[in-house]
Amino acid sequence: MKLVIFEDASYEQFYPLTYMRPTFDLRCGSTLLREKIERAFGRKADVVFVRDWLREAYAVRTSAKVNDLGALAGDDLVLVNGRGLWIGDEFPPAGRDACAMAGAEIVYATLTKHTAARIQAADFAGFLAAAAKAVPAAKSGLKLLGYPWHLIEENGAAIRDDFKRIGRSGVHGTLGPSAVIWGPQNQVYIAPTAVVEPCAVIDTQEGPVIIEEGARVNPHSRIQGPAAIGRDTQVVGGKIREGTTIGPVCRVGGEVEESIIHAYSNKYHDGFLGHAYVCEWVNLGALTTNSDLKNDYSTVEIKVKGQLFDSGSTKVGCFIGDHTKTSIGTLINSGTVLGMMSNILGAGCLLPKSVPSFVMFMDNKFYKAGLKQLTGTARTAMGRRKVTMTPQEEALIQRLFDLTKDDRDELIKKSRKEMMIQRGLR
């Protein structure tokens, strides 16, 4: 059997979270969506299919074959939609043809090698469409995530499922003197090289807490389950509330509630982060704070593919792309989207609800930011964690700079016009 994971055309609905990664490498719970799929099947993906312009950058990060239609030949196949949330007990039938659907969308399809051999297609999209027509269809109980806030809404359940599948509990690392597990002892997993220092509280009354290898919880921190603290992450006097995932190699303090910090990002200082998703290599300056609830308790609108979209939820924070930095005192409104690689200097008032990629935002105006300088800053930040930017990643950043040009240029032009009017030049 070959395990094939694909992303469908919905990747744009997750921007800016999916600029630098395929949909199936988003995090929900303590693991990536892809890792949940691989765990369910007990094997790594053999083949993955991603949008064409992401192929080269992703190929250097995976052992799977990327966008290789020929690799599907000669074996039974399981084709899995990468935005499926694989928690619970559903498992595809092996050795027979079947297609599981969520409404009109494919969750997964299983094909015998004989059925797969009969499908003729020029690309994977055609192969998948033909496969769906060739085999019996049934309704799936698995969820397909459609928008960034769905990751937040499902995060608590995903942490619980991850904890269950770890199959271990208890204190295997260091629990310092006067550190407390408040609640069921069997609802915590502290990995062998993890350290919980004195005067920290791990609260398992409402859900499990996972603290992975090399993580360190500093004194006067409180972590309320369900929560997951990733490998080599430091919690520095943090109030980590329920439904929160902090990925590997992060530095986090202040208050965090029902949020996902993907990896390699810092929120070292005080400030509130709620119902938010933060990508890699982000730095949130001291007292950076986001709103996740409107004063009138109405549902939150978010800009998706250039259009305002009603999330249907009253609790939605912000979504921040890779390599973006905020200054001290930055205030972020509910339902705000911050693009990648932008430098945001708070001006004492709320940011616009949409900030494009590759800009400087200062004094409530948008300014051009040079790609060379931004890339240099990103390379420096990565080097501080002993990670090297690959040539493929740099080429991807250039591609994304071009992709986001129109949105950025429009706002910069508007800002220039406003400045000229203010100076009496028009």
Domains of the chain: 2-146 (3.90.550.10), 151-422 (2.160.10.10)
Torsion of CA 330, 259, 357, 50, to 10 degrees: 170
For residue 82, name the pLDDT band (cuts at 50, 70, 90).
very high
Are 344 and 330 in contact by the 8 Å Cβ rule? The answer is yes
pLDDT score of 415: 83
- Region 267-296: mean pLDDT is 97
> Comparing 348 with 292, which gets the higher pLDDT?
292
- Region 328-334: mean pLDDT is 96
For residue 88, name the pLDDT band (cuts at 50, 70, 90).
confident
User: What's the N-to-C CA distance of the chain in angstroms?
Assistant: 68
- Region 191-207: mean pLDDT is 98
Q: Read off the tokens for 422.
A: 């203010």
Nearest 5 degrees, angle CA 277-CA 235-CA 328?
A: 65
pLDDT digits (tens, 9 = 90+) for 355-366: 999 999 998 899
Q: Read off the tokens for 406.
A: 């129109």
For residue 426, name the pLDDT band (cuts at 50, 70, 90).
low
For residue 424, name the pLDDT band (cuts at 50, 70, 90).
low
The dihedrals phi and psi of 39, each to the nearest 5 degrees, come to -65, -40
- Region 99-104: mean pLDDT is 92
DSSP 155: H
| pTM confidence score | 0.95
- State CA 39 to chain mean position distance: 18
For residue 95, name the pLDDT band (cuts at 50, 70, 90).
low
For residue 172, pLDDT over 60 is answered with yes
pLDDT score of 35: 97
For residue 347, name the pLDDT band (cuts at 50, 70, 90).
confident
| Alpha helix segments (H runs only) across 95-253 | 113-118, 124-134, 148-153, 155-166
| Alpha helix segments (H runs only) across 346-404 | 371-383, 391-403
Among 94-108, 211-225, 273-287, 352-366, the range scoring the smallest mean pLDDT is: 94-108
Three-state DSSP class for 326?
Answer: strand
Three-state DSSP class for 400?
Answer: helix
| Alpha helix segments (H runs only) across 303-389 | 371-383
pLDDT digits (tens, 9 = 90+) for 105-151: 999 999 999 999 999 999 999 999 999 999 988 899 899 999 999 99
Q: Read off the tokens for 103.
A: 């409404």
Q: Read off the tokens for 169.
A: 């509990």
Q: Read off the tokens for 219.
A: 């004194």
- Region 152-176: mean pLDDT is 97
pLDDT score of 290: 97
